[in-house]
Chains A and B, each alone.
Chain A
Amino acid sequence: MADRDIKALTAEIDCPTFEHTAFTRARPLAEATVAVVTTASLHHPDQPDFVGRDTSFRVLDGNRRDWVLGHWSPNFDASGFALDPNVVLPLDRLDELAAAGRIGRVAAHHLSYAGNQFELATIQLDSGPAGAKLLLDEGVDVVLLTPV
């Protein structure tokens, strides 16, 4: 049994579809502020853990590296994140890209949601727009989304 077998179990789960796909034009990356938004349920130890069907998000401090994996699904490998959080939240890599001038700067804060959700209305109408507003208010231009 392998990773592909778990993927096969989830491959046909209903996915939301969008009649219209919004498309925002990017400013030059060398001037852009980049944030990461993950659905791996990461949080700092002093933040509330994610509970089942949790549609809220946690704000992650980009100056810290003490993230904890809070997802309740057993159906993904966690050892890679335990060894190197960059495999989910690549802030060290983004810092290197900023230092090299490839991107303008790395955002001060990043967001974490709980992926593998079946109830998506709240994320689509409430916590998703709230997270977007938080990032826009902090001057974020580009978001890299990483799954669990």
Chain B
Amino acid sequence: MCVLAHVFEAAGLVTVALGSIRSQIERTAPPRGLYCDFPLGRPLGRPNDPAFQHRVLAHALDLVERAGSPVVEQFSESIVDDGQGFVACSLPPRHDASVPAAVEEARGLRPAFDRSVALHGDRIGTRRVVAPDDIPAAVAAFVAVAEGTPWRQAGIPGVPARVAQDIRGYYETAALALADHTPAAWEATRWFVHHTEAGAAISRARDAMQVAGEKTALWFYLLPASI
């Protein structure tokens, strides 16, 4: 992103760049940089908190007015992810033993997904590779990989990482309708990865693909690198 700051500034625009990774914003040294110690994916800090967002913008705009030469400053407030929290969402009960638990779970979350889309829109996945109607089948494909089917024969409907990301987006969108608060960063992801059958299936599928010697790029990006 800071490359764009250099390019835009050289073209005659005044820029101020927010950055969430200190070493990157310091090394790329944009004309005006504001390091914000916030979780990745939330450069303005807190969703649904206009006052907080305005404090970030106030510092950024102050840099525009005040800086007389290239500068990187740090925003005064930090948001630290403890690496533990997750949204506590009810999961649908198990009653159809004829299908894998992960598939039944994905089907059962559809009403919550639809409620969330009605409330917030469908912003973070699904429909890029897999439509919502096809999410359970995509989950079934990862269950098959987890149980030993080579991924090319499992029926994954696209590039595995992209399909996995649509599944994650479907689940996290559903979680927003099930949670009773604005989740902190990564809380919906940790719920998906560590507390759902689908997350467990994709995690096992990733392990199986790694053990099978598949290219790293095929399995590494099925889930976040470290959450």
Contact = CB atoms under 8 A, between A and B. Distances in A.
Interface of A: 1-7, 9-13, 15-18, 21-26, 29, 32, 37, 39-40, 49, 65-70, 72-88, 90, 92-94, 96-97, 102-103, 113, 115, 120, 123-124, 128-129, 131-133, 135-136, 140-148
Interface in B1-35: 1-24, 27-31
Given A12-B23, A79-B124, A133 B11 contact: yes
Given A74-B224, A79-B183, A7 B175 contact: no
B215 interface: no
B3 A124 contact: yes
23 contacts: A1-B83, A3-B39, A6-B226, A18-B28, A22-B6, A22-B10, A24-B31, A29-B64, A49-B128, A72-B162, A77-B40, A77-B189, A79-B176, A79-B187, A80-B47, A81-B47, A82-B116, A87-B43, A87-B44, A123-B3, A144-B57, A146-B43, A148-B40
B61 to A, nearest CB: 6
A82 B173 contact: yes
Interface of B: 1-24, 27-31, 39-48, 50, 53-54, 57, 60-61, 64-65, 69-70, 80-84, 116, 120-125, 128, 161-162, 164-165, 168-169, 172-173, 175-176, 182-183, 185-189, 221-227
B18 A144 contact: yes
B9 A22 contact: yes
B123 A85 contact: yes
B13 A2 contact: no
Contact of A81 (B45, B124, B164, B222): B124
Contacts of A10: 21, 24
B46 A123 contact: no
Contacts of B123: 67-69, 78, 81-82, 85
A73 B1 CA distance: 15
A106 B45 CA distance: 21
Given A86-B53, A96-B54, A78 B8 contact: no
Given A11-B24, A129-B11, A145 B226 contact: no
Contacts, number: 271
Contact of B13 (A11, A97, A124, A132): A132
Contacts of B224: 6, 74-75
A21 B188 CA distance: 39
B56 to A, nearest CB: 8
B65 A145 contact: no
Contacts of B40: 3, 6-7, 75-77, 148
Contacts of B84: 2
Contact of B3 (A97, A128, A136): A128
A79 B185 CA distance: 7
Given A15-B27, A24-B31, A93-B54, A84 B48 contact: yes
A77 to B, nearest CB: 4
B226 A21 contact: no
Given A67-B123, A77-B189, A82-B176, A145 B13 contact: no
B14 to A, nearest CB: 4
Contacts of A75: 40, 224-225
B41 A39 contact: no
Nearest to B220: A74
B39 A77 contact: yes
